[in-house]
Amino acid sequence: MTGIGFLTMARRLPALIGQAVRMAWKASPRDTLATISLSTLGGVFTAFGLLATTGVLQALFSSGATPDRIRAALPSLLLVGVAGALRTTLQAGAGWAQARLEPQVSRIAETQLYDLTSRVDLIAYDDVAFHDSLVRARTRGVSMVDTVVNSAIDVLTGVIGIVAAAGVLGILHPVLLPLLLLAVIPDAWAAVRSARERYTTMYALVPARRRKWILSDLMADRDTAAEIRSFTMRRFLMRLYDAVTDAEQAVVLRLARRQTVARLVGEALGGVGTAVVYVALGLLLAVGAVPLAVAGTAVLAIRSGQTYLSTFMYATNRLYEEGLYFTDFLEFCADARARLTSERPRQAPAAFERITVDDVTFHYPGGERPALDHVSIHIDRGEVVALVGENGSGKTTLSKILAGLYDPGEGRVRWDDVDLAGVDPEDLRRHIAVIAQDHTRWPLTAKDNITMGLEKGAEALHASAQVAGADQVIAELPHGYRTLLDRRFKDGHEPSGGQWQRIAVARGFYRDAPLLICDEPTAALDARAEHSLFERIRGHADGRTVLLITHRLASVRYADRIYVLDHGKVIERGTHDELMALGGQYADLYTIQASAYSSTGDHREEAPTQA
C-alpha cells in the first residue's frame, strides 16, 4: 500500500470502473444505461455550447455599432442558451437515474454478502482471517458499494466533460490543450497520498476496532448487563475500552496531520499551476497567436475543463479510496465462494439402517492437535447412542460432523452405502434434527422459534410442543404462539433459561427427522425437569435414532451403546453395564457423579437415576 501512486491508481481505475458498472448493470440495466447515455449527451452539449460561445464573442468584439454587434451575436447566443438548457436537463436526468441506482445497488450488495455468510461452510467461522475479512466487508465494504458505483459514474461524467473541454481547446489552438494539466496535477498528487494514508490506517485499525466493538457490545447488551453489575465490572471494562480507544485516537490524529500537510502542499502547487495557465494564455494573446474572441472562449473552456478535471480528480480519489474497501468486499465474496461446499448433485437418503463414521480425523483452522483423531463409531436405526467424555474430548465436534455441519479432514461418514462426501449437505440437514445446549434465542414469535421457517401445520406444531413440555410455557405467554420472544420490542416476552430449553427441544421434535442429535439438551434444567425431558426424548425416539451428548451420565445408562471420547479419540465403547465392569474412565466419571447423590458408597450406581 505504501508504494501506491497515481500511475498505480490510474492502472486500477478501468478495472474498478468495470466492476462498478457490472454491479450497477446487475442492479438495474435501465438506470445504468440512462445514467451513462444522458451524461454522454450532456458532455456533447457542453462542447457545443463552448463552441457557440466563440461566435458570441466574435460578434461582440467586432467593429461597428453596439446594437448591430448585439444583433449579430443573438443567433450564437440562442444556441448557447439552448445548449445550456439541454445540458442542464440531461444532467438532471442522469442524476435522477443515478439516484435510483443507489438503493438498488445497496440491496444487491447486501443480498450477495449475507447470502454468502449464511451459506459458507461452518468451519470458516473458526478461522481468524475469515473473521477479519468479514468485518472489513460488513463495516466498510458493503456500505461502499453504492458509493463506488456513484463515484465510477462521476468519473465517467468527469471524463466526458474533460473530453468536451479538451476538444474545444484543441479546435481553438493546440497549444492550449496541455495547459489544462498544470492546474490539477498537484491536486491529484495530494488526493492520492491522502487516500493511501487513510486506507492503510483504517486497514491497520481493523483488529483494534473489532475489539472496541466487542467491548461496546458487552457494555450495552442485555445478556451481559446482570453480570457486569454483579461482578462490578464497569470500571474494568471501561479501562479496557479507554485503552483501545486512546490507541485508536492517537493513530487517527496522526493521520489527520499527515493528510492536512498533503492537502496544503497540493493546494499551494495547484495555485502556482493555475497562475502559469493564465500567464501562458496572456503570452499567446500578446504575440497574436490567438484572437481575443478565441482567447475569451479558451478562458471559459479552461475554467470548464478545470471544473471537470477537479470533479474527475475528486471522483477518482473517492473511487480509488472507496474502491479499496470495495475490493475488500469483492475479495471477501470471492473467499467466501471458495469456502462454499462444492457442488454435490447426489440427494441424501430419506432414511438409513446404519450410520458409519469410519476413521475420521478433523482439525480446526490453526489447530496443531486434531480435534478428532481416527474416530470410528456406528449408529443403527432406532438406537439411542451416547457420546460422553470430559470437556474438549471431541464430542460436539463429532456431533457436528454427523449433523453435516463439518466435513471430515480424513475418513468417511456413510448412511448405509452412501458416502456423505458426495451428498448435498443442505439436503442432508433436512433429515437431521439438532437440539443444542447453545441454541439460538431467536427474536421471533414462539411459533417461529419452533417451526424455524418449516410449515407442517398446526397439528405438528402442537404435538412437538406437547412432547417437549413447551406447551406449558406457551400457555403462559400473553399471546400464545404469536408472542414475540424478545423484550427489546414492544409486547415482547423473555422466557427463562429452562423455558427456552423446552422450546429448543420442541424445535428438534418438530423437524421429525430420522436422526435426532441432542447436545447437552438438559443443561438449563433442574433435576426433575431433566428426568422428565429424557423420558420424553426416550418416548419420542420410538422408531427414531438418537445421538445423545451429555456430561450427566445418569441420563445415558439406558443407551444402547456408549462411546467414551478423550482428546479426540474413542477410548471406550459398550453398554453402561459393560463400561462399569471395565472399570475405566466411564466408570470413574460415573462413580464421581454418583457420589454427589449419596452419602455412602453403597448406592452410588442407583442414586443418579433417581435424580
* C-alpha–C-alpha distance, residues 84 and 94, integer Å: 15
Q: Is the pLDDT of residue 421 over 50?
A: yes
469: CB partners within 8 A, 6+ apart:
502, 505, 529, 532, 533, 536
Task: Give the pLDDT band (50/70/90) at residue 262.
Answer: confident
Q: Is the pLDDT of residue 599 over 60?
A: no
Mean per-residue pLDDT for 89-95? 87
Most trustworthy range by pLDDT among 9-23, 44-58, 216-230, 373-387 = 373-387
pTM of the prediction?
0.67
Task: Give the pLDDT band (50/70/90) at residue 415.
Answer: very high
Residue 445: DSSP 8-state: B
pLDDT, greater one: 472 or 87: 472
Task: Give the pLDDT band (50/70/90) at residue 1.
Answer: very low
Phi, psi of 11 (to 5 degrees): -70, -30
Query: Residue 319's pLDDT is what?
Result: 77
* C-alpha–C-alpha distance, residues 331 and 310, integer Å: 30
Residue 552: DSSP 8-state: -
| Residue 424 and residue 600 in contact, taking contact as beta carbons nearer than 8 Å | no
* C-alpha–C-alpha distance, residues 568 and 390, integer Å: 11
**Per this entry, what is the length of the chain?**
611
The full set of domain ranges for the chain reads 11-338, 440-512
Mean per-residue pLDDT for 206-220? 82
Q: Is the pLDDT of residue 25 over 60?
A: yes
Q: How many helices (H) and strands (E) does the chain have?
A: 21, 10
pLDDT, greater one: 594 or 578: 578
Q: Is the pLDDT of residue 59 over 90?
A: no
What burial class does residue 466 get, using C-beta atoms within 10 Å of its C-beta: 0-12 exposed, 13-18 middle, 19+ buried?
middle
* C-alpha–C-alpha distance, residues 152 and 143, integer Å: 15
3-state helix, strand, coil in the chain (%, to 5): 65, 10, 25
Query: Residue 566's pLDDT is what?
Result: 92
Q: At what angle do helices 6-27 and 29-61 cross, to 10 degrees?
A: 120
Query: Residue 607's pLDDT is what?
Result: 40
| Weakest mean pLDDT among 50-64, 169-183, 444-458 | 50-64
pLDDT in tens, 384-411: 899 998 888 899 899 999 988 888 989 9
Q: Is the pLDDT of residue 608 over 50?
A: no
Element (H, E) at 257: helix 234-286
pLDDT, greater one: 196 or 5: 196
Task: Give the pLDDT band (50/70/90) at residue 58.
Answer: low
| Weakest mean pLDDT among 160-164, 308-312, 497-501 | 308-312
Residue 343: DSSP 8-state: P
Q: Is the pLDDT of residue 6 over 70?
A: no
Query: Residue 605's pLDDT is what?
Result: 42
Query: Residue 61's pLDDT is what?
Result: 59
Query: Residue 475's pLDDT is what?
Result: 92
In the block, residue with C-alpha cell 485499525: 205
Q: Is the pLDDT of residue 336 over 80?
A: yes
| Paired strand residues for 569 | 566
pLDDT, greater one: 556 or 56: 556
Query: Residue 398's pLDDT is what?
Result: 93
Mean per-residue pLDDT for 190-194? 70
Q: In 3D, which of 121, 522, 527 has the Cα closest to residue 340?
A: 121
| Residue 442 and residue 485 in contact, taking contact as beta carbons nearer than 8 Å | yes
94: CB partners within 8 A, 6+ apart:
34, 35, 38, 39, 42, 157
Mean per-residue pLDDT for 537-563? 80
Query: Residue 600's pLDDT is what?
Result: 42
Q: Is the pLDDT of residue 563 over 90?
A: yes
* C-alpha–C-alpha distance, residues 65 and 63, integer Å: 7
Query: Residue 610's pLDDT is what?
Result: 35
Mean per-residue pLDDT for 555-574? 90
Mean pLDDT, the chain, rounded, equals: 80
pLDDT in tens, 343-367: 887 888 888 999 999 999 999 887 7
pLDDT, greater one: 415 or 346: 415
Q: In 3D, which of 422, 423, 372, 424 has the Cα closest to residue 400?
A: 372
Q: Return the CATH class of domain 11-338.
A: mainly alpha
Query: Residue 446's pLDDT is what?
Result: 92
Cell numbers of 480, please? 400464545
CATH of 440-512, one of 3.30.450.20, 3.30.300.30, 3.40.50.300, 3.90.180.10: 3.40.50.300
pLDDT in tens, 241-259: 888 888 888 888 888 888 7
Query: Residue 609's pLDDT is what?
Result: 39
CA atoms within 13 A of residue 3's CA, in its CB half-sphere: 0
Cell numbers of 363, please? 482439525
Q: Is the pLDDT of residue 55 over 80?
A: no
Measured CA angle at 434 (ends 223, 593), to 5 deg = 75
Cell numbers of 338, please? 471458495
Query: Residue 359's pLDDT is what?
Result: 93
pLDDT in tens, 479-504: 999 999 988 788 888 888 888 888 98
Cell numbers of 552, please? 450427566
| Weakest mean pLDDT among 72-81, 382-391, 466-475 | 72-81
pLDDT, greater one: 371 or 4: 371
Task: Give the pLDDT band (50/70/90) at residue 603.
Answer: very low
